[in-house]
Amino acid sequence: MVIRECFRCFYHIYNSRLGQWLHNCMTHNRHYRRLRSHQGLEHSHLDDFILDFEDVRVRIVPLARTNYSYLIQDKATNEVAVIDPGDADYLSHVAGSEMGQDIAKMLITHKHWDHAAGMTQLFKRYPEARSFAYHCEKVEEVTDRVGDGDTIQLGSVTIRVLHTPGHTEGSVCFFVQQSKGPPLLFTGDTLFLGGMGAFFEGTAPTILLTIEKLLNLPEETLVFPGHEYSDTTLRFGLLMEPANEELRAKAHWVAMRRSKYFCTVPSTLSEERSYNPFLRIKTHSIMAATSTTYPIRTLIALQNNRIARRNEYKNLPLVREEDSV
């Protein structure tokens, strides 16, 4: 009970203006230290600076220690939006230097400062910009409130809002169905490569609905999450499902990538269905691992295991000795 009350207090402070100030101080301090030591600001290397799709260009922007923001540009009009503006200065620099445009729209997946703290400064820099967040999410400086199924126009590209509560009450994902090629899904902290965000404000029934909504999207959908957590999430997956060959292959790939500080996003929904335990709550192996027989109980058991057994899986090797030969 004491631990729970302490967490609630911390969570309240984090979501306050004091939390925003502390977040910005840590961000600025990290920038100063990395620049002083002649390091780049991004935490992970990218294979391609701009991902060129049929209708849009996407710039993955690694920020802070593990965050990802995304710049998305409509190819027909060159209009640029940022998804989860956690750092105003660097995002505006990348938008101008690599895409040649100001930021016209800000899309917020959820209220936490590591995803939204840059809004104030971006509005000072781009006073004509518009910002979008779910209608009940407690985010200030939002010009446009959106609901489930609403659309946001970025030039000629339509971005659909998917309400996916669980991490926060007003968490959303942004879905782009292109004229050709795979759809794109920007998930914030709802869905990670190999896992899901902590269930801070969700109940098991609402999170189950969120999972069903994600599973109903096309399997070829590219998933762009809000954090580089793949090494941790896959370790938990290996604890739950050590015989899953797709999971072992992905873990080996992630281990090789992270050993050289390369990013591991995006993945695909097809891949996630094969190794992400939270998307596999109806499979026999995950039910057996959690000693449950109903998906909602499996989900609850997964969450409990993720918390209670952290010390058990956090140092679990991603690659077995026999797999590394």
Active-site amino acid positions: 110, 112, 114-115, 167, 189, 227
Query: What residues pair up with 176 in beta bridges, in sequence order?
Result: 159, 184
Alpha-carbon torsion (227, 234, 306, 272), positive or negative = positive
Q: At residue 260, what is the residue type?
A: K
Which residues are 186's β-sheet partners?
A: 174, 224
> Any long-range contacts for 258-264 (C-beta under 8 Å, 24+ apart)?
258/230, 258/231, 260/45, 261/43, 261/44, 261/45, 262/44, 262/45, 262/46, 262/47, 263/44, 263/45, 263/46, 263/60, 263/62, 263/68, 263/228, 264/193, 264/228, 264/230
Q: Are 134 and 170 in contact (CB under 8 A)?
A: yes
Residues in Cβ contact with 71 at an 8 Å cutoff, skipping those fewer than 6 apart: 58, 59, 61, 80, 81, 82, 83, 91, 94, 95, 98, 99, 103
User: Which SS3 state, helix, strand or coil, does residue 98 take?
Assistant: helix
CA 160/CA 174 separation, integer angstroms: 6
A 10 A CB-CB count for 318 gives: 22
**46 Cβ partners below 8 Å, 6+ apart?**
60, 62, 262, 263
